[in-house]
Amino acid sequence: MKRFILLILLGLATNSSVTYAQSDDLTFQSSELQQMALRYTGNTLNWPLLISIADHDIPNNTFTLSSSDFIQLQALATTTAKVMEQQNRVKKLITSGATIFAKKPLERVNTLLVDYVVRIQEGQLEEVLNIGSKIEPAVDEMDSTLMANRLVQVQAQLAKKVGTVDKRLGLLGDWNDAFVGDLFKEADGVRTLEESFANLAFTDGSYVMVDPNTVAVIRKSRIDKLSQSSDTEISLVSGGLLAKLSAAAKEKSNYILNAGASTSELKTQNFYAESDGNTTVKLTNYDGIANISANDVTITIKKNEGTIVEEGRAPSAPIKLLEAPDLVWESRDTIIYRQDIVYAFGDVDRAVSYRAQISSSPSFDADIEELSLTSNSVNLDDLALGTTYVRVLAIDSLGLRGPFSEPTRIIRNIDNQPPPVFVDGSNGNILFTLNTDYQITGVSEPDTRLTINAKSVTVQLSGKFSHVLKDIDTDQDLEIVAVDASGNKTSKSIRLVKLTDDVLFKFNLTGASGSDPIKLNSPTVTLASKAYPELEVVVLNAGTERKIFTDSKGRWGITTNLKPGSLEVSFKNARTGITYITKSFTVEENQRNHD
């Protein structure tokens, strides 16, 4: 504790304007020691050194400084200023984590500062100047140790690749084949060839998707262990790449993308850069903001804006991107049995071309095929069995890419498989309604013959179907049968339940009686009933909320301390959380318990 008190005192009374030289001798009273120390050395605490230098007239209690003394004081003043500057550095380094990441260098600096103060108090000028000269190098060492221990280099990993992807170790290395799982450190490069893609994953959950015919270099990739933030810098030499930052990285990390003459500071989760490798860079932002700098000019592009940077010029003013194309199909889910299908979308005003992406992954990070289009349709042939995802974007006359459309899911089945049947809104095999009429909807294969309780239902070209059930009483069992052109058959049993008060709110009470109002017979009350499966029951009383799910037979029960006042009971969809019905009751004390 003594050391830290001394360090604080050292910086109390200081003077940035110091008189270094005096042509004549100077005599002053002992009461002026601190004032003279401040004037000629920059710190009132240096007064013991003035005593050690000056001639002391004991009878008159005065001190005299000669011309030669002022030369020594000049050296002391210079050292004092440097030490105080280092003290300020130490404070900042401590707030930056030096107590954790530079513990031993910090202890050495503290020892020097304490010794420095002790030598001042002892009036040992030479020792003060000697120790003072060691403080700045010690603080430099603390600074470098802090940065070395706090900022840790991390490696990006080649998470996925399509086609030929190469890796270069360092700026002067040779290009060699890259494999999934390879690590890329600072100064390493990645290169994709024709019809090739690469996905580089970073430790904070961010990743970079590298387009075909692209060369990029990881300039910096570090993690700050104190703030858990990333410091990443990537240079796009030629081609294109999409930076997908994680939510955490967007908020607190530093991501820099260099392309051509531009530098982009990213605060966005979706940013695309394209460079011709010579003079022109096209930048588009699909989320958050990005600060673009070139030729001493900085602009900000917001969501769905872009800019163009040409060599020797400032970035263009933000340009509004084209809208994403709309799908002309009625549904984004399509089931087919053939190998090809025509994928069509709506025209986008001012679009000169389109770019379609096809992938086996919903995130479009694997098995990617990219098609350049001049019309608003494309024949997708040789589709693989299973699920294929397709999306499309529009490109304007400047070559800026708009946002992608929502992905379309195309499911290709083989003929020996029964047709799938998806029923909208079903919880397992149960549907709930509050009305006497109910429209059941879903999706199957387009060429399926479908019946509901033996009644024929039309299946649209998109695979969607719809059927209205009338005069629903309470429970109704539905049998959905789908038969495809090859005779493959799927049967699906659905239970349709009309929710009613007399079933849902028919409580069995323990510790209470009555229905509304409910009379309390005991502080602890159990509410129970038999409703239906796949429901969530929410009980609210006196600001306290309790939740429980019904079991496979619809049973539920809650034991709680009911309070007089309002009791609210709600029934919700157990999967979606949608509230079906809510009813309020009054809870009262049973007066018999007080009589």
Polymer length in residues for the chain: 595
User: Which candidate, 154, 160, 310, places its Cα nearest to that of 233?
Assistant: 154
How far is the C-alpha of 241 from the C-alpha of 239, rounded, in Å? Answer: 7
According to DSSP, the residues that pair with 581 across neighbouring strands are 571
The dihedral sign for the CA sequence 343, 348, 351, 356 = negative
User: Which candidate, 272, 267, 155, 268, places its Cα nearest to that of 214?
Assistant: 272
382's tokens: 């040789």
| Cβ proximity of 358 and 153 under 8 Å | no
- How does pLDDT run across 173-219, given as a tens digit for each residue? 999 999 999 999 889 999 999 889 999 988 777 889 999 999 999 98
Coil vs helix vs strand at 247: helix
Fold classified for 333-412: Immunoglobulin-like (2.60.40)
| Cβ proximity of 389 and 332 under 8 Å | no
241's tokens: 């790449």
| Cβ proximity of 52 and 73 under 8 Å | no
Asked, colleague to colleague, whether 422-498 and 501-593 share their fold, the answer is yes
User: Which candidate, 534, 435, 444, 447, places its Cα nearest to that of 492?
Assistant: 444
| Cβ proximity of 479 and 548 under 8 Å | no
Domain 422-498: give its CATH superfamily.
Answer: Immunoglobulins (2.60.40.10)
DSSP state of 195: T
CA distances (Å), origin 31, targets 22, 42, 265, 380: 20, 17, 59, 96
Coil vs helix vs strand at 574: coil
What does the DSSP assignment read for 545-564? Answer: EEEEE--TTSEEEEEE---S
- How does pLDDT run across 44-98, given as a tens digit for each residue? 889 999 989 999 998 999 999 988 888 888 999 999 999 999 999 999 888 877 8
CATH of domain 501-593: 2.60.40.10
The per-residue pLDDT for 13 is: 47
Residue keyed to tokens 């002992």: 30
Coil vs helix vs strand at 463: coil
DSSP state of 380: E
Q: Phi and psi dihedrals of 393, rounded to 5?
A: -130, 160
396's tokens: 């304007």
| Cβ proximity of 211 and 230 under 8 Å | no
**Domain ranges, ordered by start, for the chain:** 2-150, 154-320, 333-412, 422-498, 501-593
According to DSSP, the residues that pair with 301 across neighbouring strands are 290
User: Which candidate, 328, 313, 321, 331, places its Cα nearest to that of 284?
Assistant: 321
Report whether CATH 2.60.120.1440 matches the domain 154-320: yes
Return averaged pLDDT per consecutive 10 residues of the chain, 595 residues in all. 36 49 77 90 90 90 89 90 93 83 90 93 92 94 84 78 93 93 91 92 84 92 72 91 81 85 90 91 93 94 94 93 90 82 93 93 83 92 89 95 93 81 84 89 90 93 90 86 87 89 88 89 90 91 90 90 91 87 90 60
